[in-house]
Amino acid sequence: MNYQELPVEEIIADKTSIPDIVIGRLPVYLRTLKLLHGHGQEVTSSQELGDLLGISSAQIRKDLSHFGEFGKQGTGYDIIYLCRQLEEILKVDGIWPVVLVGAGYLGHALTSYNGFEQRGFRIIGVFDNDPKKIGEDLGHVIVQPSSEIAEVVQKYSCQIAIIAAPTDYAQEVANTLIAAGIQSILCYAPITLTVPKHIRVEYIDPVIHFQHMTFYLEKKCLDE
Amino acid sequence: MNYQELPVEEIIADKTSIPDIVIGRLPVYLRTLKLLHGHGQEVTSSQELGDLLGISSAQIRKDLSHFGEFGKQGTGYDIIYLCRQLEEILKVDGIWPVVLVGAGYLGHALTSYNGFEQRGFRIIGVFDNDPKKIGEDLGHVIVQPSSEIAEVVQKYSCQIAIIAAPTDYAQEVANTLIAAGIQSILCYAPITLTVPKHIRVEYIDPVIHFQHMTFYLEKKCLDE
DNA sequence: ATCGCTTTGTGCTAAAATCCACAATTAAAT
DNA sequence: ATTTAATTGTGGATTTTAGCACAAAGCGAT
């Protein structure tokens, strides 16, 4: 087999052979490269990228080496070329449909955010169970009842969902999404979901970050 | 020195001797313990906790062992007692004041979120530069101009800030916050901030999670 | 009192992640 | 053409993290 002629996704023989922690850094590299590109810069180095990100240049080079040789000795990396390669590796050279469950303040914020599309994602459906919210127009989508999740997920072959529902409903929502065919969930509810092991769940909970920070702070609270 | 008589924070001889990754898991343990407590459960085990979180029981025991012996052989852990201990270790047994910069959709969602207080945090000031937003009443706080950040931070001895401002202003906002005395920043802008090394920054960017997920998905995008 | 089951805390082993350091290569300057 | 400086990709050492497995201890049943 001639690897040179295959697209990046075919070169990666075995996804599981690449550490997940490496995959997790690639989006950060991509984000930073796009920022540099936006500033008009055309070339960068592992050293510069590392300085910007607070990590070692060796780590960046080794991470990239899992996927190919993208740089040029003495010069560094062509930003546009490396962006394209990373986008292909991460499969974000297209637009992925995403469904969102929960049309509260957070759901509104997510729906209004206009930074998704340029990075590969579009919210194509918003669902809620509250009759007061159903029918509400959020710009380019209208809130639908949760009972229609399966239909929309299947219509768009959607694999990604966001849970922005109250904690008490999060597990139930996850079950519904998984039954509908969703493969990956980004969960904003402060709870660890129980899911089959082929389903990937990532979590966003600001309080987890705060509580991590306070360990290192000198204690000075209110109320005491 | 008799360690038995000292509060937890004094027992931890050297914060840097405990891996940061361990500290990062404690808030997740705490969150889960509180969930079990909410269900009326009084005792749990490292096994049960590990199953709920998808990690090994040994890891949980070893993590906790950095701080003391909180369990009882044959029985497990008293949930209330372990919660208290974790809260003390993480210093979230009081309320920390937090300032928020950015009163857009995200800022509104954060301000309206009522899950902060019971986990140790309170947004005591919201700032924005947009004259249209200044003066807006967000329930228990009113949007103030960014020029007042320093005054409020100092008045409350506030050490924690959230940046929910547009990407283009995030670095500038961070500089202002740090100059005002902020020690830890939770940044929602999709950018890596440049800060002095004694300042801790954590990031929340949903797209980073999405792009991490898509690596493992079968590619089926819109538009193609 | 003893047995059988459970669970902790931990010494040690294994695995994973990070980092050093250098040959090879490129580009620019002289 | 040669020198100098920069930068990559990577073998291998080092450091960090996770996991195994077991003695010690607690509890409940008989």
Task: Give the model confidence (pLDDT) of B46-96 as tens digits.
Answer: 999 999 999 999 999 999 999 999 999 999 999 999 999 999 999 999 999
Give the model's confidence band at A15: pLDDT under 50 very low, under 70 low, under 90 confident, else very high.
Answer: confident
Q: What span, in angstroms and rounded, lies between the C-alpha atoms of A161 and A180?
A: 11
- Which DSSP category does A192 fall into? P
Measured between CB atoms, does B11 come within 8 Å of chain A? no
Measured between CB atoms, does A21 come within 8 Å of chain B? no
- Structure confidence at residue B16 (pLDDT): 79
- Structure confidence at residue A219 (pLDDT): 82
Closest CA to B165 of B150, B177, B153: B177
Mean pLDDT of A189-196: 98
Distance of CA A121 to the CA centre of its chain: 9
Cα within 13 Å of Cα(B185), Cβ side: 30
* Strand D lies under 7 A from the Cβ of residue A67: no
Weakest mean pLDDT among A59-63, A220-224, B146-150: A220-224
Closest CA to A213 of B150, B158, B52: B158
Q: What span, in angstroms and rounded, lies between the C-alpha atoms of A6 and A212?
A: 44
Residues in chain A within 8 Å Cβ distance of B31: 190-192, 205, 207-208
Yes or no, beta carbons of B212 and A222 under 8 Å apart: no
Mean pLDDT of A2-25: 71
Residue B8 in this model has a pLDDT that exceeds 70: no
Q: Both tokens of residue B102?
A: 């950015």
- Restricting to A residues 70-109, those with a Cβ less than 8 Å away from any Cβ of B are 89-92, 94-98, 104-106, 108-109
Closest CA to A42 of A9, A81, A100, A10: A81
- Structure confidence at residue B11 (pLDDT): 56
Tell me which chain B residue has its CA closest to the CA of residue A23: B212
- Structure confidence at residue A3 (pLDDT): 40
- Structure confidence at residue A13 (pLDDT): 61
> Do the strands B71-72 and B184-187 form a parallel or antiparallel pair, or are they unpaired?
unpaired
Contacts made by residues B40-47, CB under 8 angstroms, sequence distance 24+? B41/B79, B42/B78, B42/B79, B42/B80, B43/B75, B43/B76, B43/B77, B43/B78, B43/B79, B44/B76, B44/B77, B44/B79, B45/B71, B45/B76, B45/B77, B46/B71, B46/B76, B46/B77
**In this structure, are residues A127 and A182 in contact, taking their beta carbons and an 8 Å threshold?**
no
Total residues belonging to chain A? 224
For chain C, which bases have at least one atom within 7 A of a protein Cβ?
5-11, 16-21, 24-27
Which of B15, B116, B212, B224 should we substitute to test contact with A (largest number of A Cβ atoms within 10 Å)? B212
Total residues belonging to chain B? 224
Helix (H, G, I), strand (E, B) or coil at B66: coil
Q: How far is B1 from chain A (nearest CA, A)?
A: 22
pLDDT in tens, B126-182: 999 999 999 999 999 999 999 999 999 999 999 999 999 999 999 999 999 999 999
Q: How far is A63 from chain B (nearest CA, A)?
A: 14
- Structure confidence at residue A14 (pLDDT): 75
Closest CA to B205 of B218, B186, B221, B222: B186
Please give the mean pLDDT across all residues of chain B: 94
Weakest mean pLDDT among A4-8, A151-155, B110-114: A4-8
Q: What span, in angstroms and rounded, lies between the C-alpha atoms of A119 and A93?
A: 9
Residue B144 parent element (H or E):
strand B143-145
Residue A7 in this model has a pLDDT that exceeds 90: no
Q: Percent of chain B beyond pLDDT 90?
A: 89
* Strand D lies under 7 A from the Cβ of residue A46: yes
Measured between CB atoms, does A135 come within 8 Å of chain B? no
Which residue gives the smallest C-alpha to C1' distance to D10? Answer: A62
Q: Percent of chain A beyond pLDDT 70?
A: 93
Q: How far is A95 from chain B (nearest CA, A)?
A: 5
Identify residue A111 by its one-letter amino acid code: T
Q: Both tokens of residue A75?
A: 């010069």
Strands (E), chain A: 43-44, 71-72, 76-78, 96-101, 121-128, 143-145, 160-163, 184-187, 200-203
Q: What sign has the CA pseudo-torsion B53, B58, B63, B69?
A: positive
Measured between CB atoms, does A141 come within 8 Å of chain B? no
Question: Distance (Å) from CA A192 to C1' D28?
Answer: 33
Q: How far is B102 from chain A (nearest CA, A)?
A: 13
3-state helix/strand/coil string of A100-163 = EECCCHHHHHHHHCCCCHHHCEEEEEEEECCCCCCCCECCCCEEEEHHHHHHHHHHCCCCEEEE
Measured between CB atoms, does A207 come within 8 Å of chain B? yes
Distance of CA A106 to the CA centre of its chain: 17
Provide the whole-model pTM.
Answer: 0.94
Residue A138 in this model has a pLDDT that exceeds 60: yes
Distance of CA B145 to the CA centre of its chain: 25
Tell me which chain B residue has its CA closest to the CA of residue A36: B191
- Structure confidence at residue A211 (pLDDT): 98
Measured between CB atoms, does A221 come within 8 Å of chain B? yes
* Strand D lies under 7 A from the Cβ of residue B166: no
